[in-house]
Amino acid sequence: MQRKAFEIPKSLLWMAYQDVRRNRGAPGCDGQTLTDFDRQRDHNLYRIWNRLCSGSYFPPPVREKRIPKDNGKERILGIPTVSDRVAQGAVKRYVEAVIDPIFHPDSYGYRPGRSAHDALRQCSIRCRRKNWVLEVDISAFFDHVGHDLIIKALEHHQMPKWVILYCRRWLQAPMQSETGLLQERGRGTPQGGVISPLLANLFLHYAFDRWMDRTHRGVPFERYADDIVIHCTRMSEAVRIRESLTRRMSEVGLTINEEKSKIVYIDTFERHNVATSFTFLGYDFKVRTLKNSKGELFRKCMPGASMKAMRRMVDTIKHWSIHRSTTDDLRDFSRRYNAVIRGWIEYYGKFWYRNFSYRLCSALQSRLLKWVKSKYRISIRQAEHRLRLVRRESPELFAHWYLLRASNV
């Protein structure tokens, strides 16, 4: 029996395949769906494993997917094929087991056992201890991260030759545009790739996390991939770190977005001519007026769903055009939209959610009321009564109904 060039456990491929099944995802440039892959699952998995072990695996191009951003620009994703997602997942599992334990405790993005909510919770605690915040935005990080520094970091951790070989090939894999043209890439790691977040974390572990510990020891921060918040005691400290960080990013081939990176003052005492709120992971951080169990008002820094996120949710609900779909019934809407509504609630309902729950419920209920009114040709008061009866009979029909507090809504 011929000896393989690399010894790669088959179990890695099987676990990676299970991850791909859970995450689903769109087809890559070959058009193959997960259903297509499963028709010859065992054969396909063996072929991937055999090519990885022999050193003959070459990743196909990633499919370009353009996502419009709120500022009118586009975010470019690179969608790998199903087979390539399995191959990337196998290598990711191997590398992650070795390097994740050495990552910084305040790095939260795309790591097992950590989440965006963990980063938000820690950020909220530190905003009450330190009044000044430096919000950092790296310009197009995933498009400009340097390949040579990622490979150098992998070599530093003495990764096997097959890991370095395939990571280099994935970093250099071309991107196929919607017109079919192939674009060669000398920098960047495509968003949408399975292994890209891990390689990005490894890059920023040395480019930022270790650098902060070395040059600004004791200054706390939270980093979720390339989203960074740094907590400072004084404004002068925040200014000094921003200048130092700008030089550091230049050293590693990146730039700080000066428009989006800002110094923020977070305290119950107002201060003029300085920003008093910032956005981190879809949440706005600012001082809010709250009420304790005794009904007494007090002010405190709390994260809440950002205005941008809420506007996006309301726009999405409007585009559903529920009130025009009079041939459907409420259960059709429930099956169609509940997963999206539940996702919003699970992500944005973890912290101060009074404003979020009001905006979400208001937007949804108004559309449902219009639908009842149009379908049954009744007045708005009659529609409210009919919808209230449905809520009492089937309180779990819509994911947002448990947020409603007033019985007459």
CATH of the domain at 174: 3.30.70.270
Q: Is the same domain home to 34 and 166? A: yes
Q: Give yes or no for a contact between 129 and 173, defined as CB atoms under 8 angstroms apart.
A: no
Residue 4 forms part of a structural domain = no
Q: Give yes or no for a contact between 122 and 106, defined as CB atoms under 8 angstroms apart.
A: yes
Nearest CA-CA partner of 170 in 60, 75, 8: 60
Backbone angles phi, psi at 289, to 5 degrees: -90, 120
State the Cα–Cα distance between residues 136 and 130, nearest whole angstrom. 17
Q: How many residues does the chain have?
A: 409
Q: How many domains does the chain have?
A: 2
Q: In the structure, what pLDDT confidence band is assigned to residue 52 with cuts at 50, 70 and 90?
A: very high
Q: Is the same domain home to 176 and 319? A: no
User: For the segment 228-239, what is each residue's pLDDT rounded down to a tens digit?
Assistant: 999 999 999 999
Lowest mean pLDDT of 27-31, 73-77, 218-222, 258-262, name the range: 73-77
Cα distances from 206 to residues 104, 136, 150, in angstroms, run 10, 17, 10
Nearest CA-CA partner of 25 in 83, 71, 100, 107: 83
Q: In the structure, what pLDDT confidence band is assigned to residue 309 with cuts at 50, 70 and 90?
A: very high
pLDDT value at residue 406: 40
Residue 30 forms part of a structural domain = yes
Q: Is the same domain home to 319 and 208? A: no
Q: Is the same domain home to 253 and 314? A: no
Backbone angles phi, psi at 256, to 5 degrees: -90, 135
Strand order in the sheet with 74-79: 74-79, 62-68, 175-176, 182-183
Q: How many CA atoms lie less than 13 Å away from 80 in the CB half-sphere?
A: 26
State the Cα–Cα distance between residues 99 and 185, nearest whole angstrom. 26
Q: Give yes or no for a contact between 74 and 25, defined as CB atoms under 8 angstroms apart.
A: no
pLDDT value at residue 405: 56
**Residue labelled with tokens 């390689």:** 199
**Residue at a domain's end among 205, 236, 263:** 263
Q: In the structure, what pLDDT confidence band is assigned to residue 271 with cuts at 50, 70 and 90?
A: confident
Residue 295 forms part of a structural domain = no
Angle at 309 between CA 305 and CA 313, to 5 degrees: 115
Query: Does 32 score more than 60 pLDDT?
Result: yes
Q: Is the same domain home to 153 and 257? A: yes
Query: Does 1 score more than 50 pLDDT?
Result: no
Percentage of the chain surpassing pLDDT 70? 98
- What residues does 300 pair with on adjacent strands? 288
Q: Is the same domain home to 216 and 356? A: no
User: For the segment 109-153, what is each residue's pLDDT rounded down to a tens digit?
Assistant: 999 999 999 999 999 999 999 999 999 999 989 999 999 999 999
State the Cα–Cα distance between residues 198 and 170, nearest whole angstrom. 13
Indicate the average pLDDT of the chain: 92
Q: Is the same domain home to 240 and 382? A: no
Q: Is 406 helix (H, G, I), strand (E, B) or coil?
A: coil
Q: In the structure, what pLDDT confidence band is assigned to residue 99 with cuts at 50, 70 and 90?
A: very high
pLDDT value at residue 2: 57
pLDDT value at residue 354: 78
Tokens encoding 95: 């590398």
Range 58-72 average pLDDT: 86
Cα distances from 278 to residues 193, 242, 337, 338, 347, in angstroms, run 29, 16, 30, 30, 18
Tokens encoding 89: 């997942």
State the Cα–Cα distance between residues 278 and 345, nearest whole angstrom. 21
Q: Give yes or no for a contact between 19 and 92, defined as CB atoms under 8 angstroms apart.
A: no
227-232 vs 297-305, strand pairing mode: unpaired
Q: Is the same domain home to 254 and 389? A: no
Residue 82 forms part of a structural domain = yes
Query: Does 55 score more than 50 pLDDT?
Result: yes
**Residue labelled with tokens 């586009």:** 74
Q: Is the same domain home to 104 and 205? A: yes
Residue 314 forms part of a structural domain = yes
**Residue at a domain's end among 208, 231, 263:** 263
Q: Is the same domain home to 228 and 310? A: no
User: For the segment 363-391, what is each residue's pLDDT rounded down to a tens digit?
Assistant: 999 999 999 999 999 999 999 999 999 99
**Residue at a domain's end among 263, 296, 314:** 263
Residue 279 forms part of a structural domain = no
State the Cα–Cα distance between residues 94 and 86, nearest whole angstrom. 13
Residue 301 forms part of a structural domain = no
Q: Provide the domain limits for residue 397.
A: 306-406
What would the 3-class secondary structure string for 85-128 be? HHHHHHHHHHHHHHHHHHCCCCECCCCCCCCHHHHHHHHHHHHC
Give DSSP secondary structure letters for 302-337.
Answer: EEEE-HHHHHHHHHHHHHH-GGG-TTS-HHHHHHHH
Q: Give yes or no for a contact between 282 and 305, defined as CB atoms under 8 angstroms apart.
A: yes
Tokens encoding 254: 């990146």
User: For the segment 149-176, what is each residue's pLDDT rounded down to a tens digit?
Assistant: 999 999 999 999 999 999 999 999 999 9
Percentage of the chain surpassing pLDDT 90? 78
Q: Is the same domain home to 250 and 330? A: no
Range 245-274 average pLDDT: 90
User: For the segment 79-95, what is each residue's pLDDT rounded down to a tens digit?
Assistant: 999 999 999 999 999 99
Query: Does 277 score more than 70 pLDDT?
Result: yes
Q: Give yes or no for a contact between 157 and 98, defined as CB atoms under 8 angstroms apart.
A: yes
Residue 284 forms part of a structural domain = no
Taking the CA atoms of residue 267, residue 273, residue 274 and residue 276 in that order, the dihedral angle to the nearest 10 degrees is: 50
pLDDT value at residue 407: 37
pLDDT value at residue 24: 87
pTM: predicted TM-score of the whole model, two decimal places = 0.91
Q: Is the same domain home to 104 and 176? A: yes
State the Cα–Cα distance between residues 52 and 314, nearest whole angstrom. 46
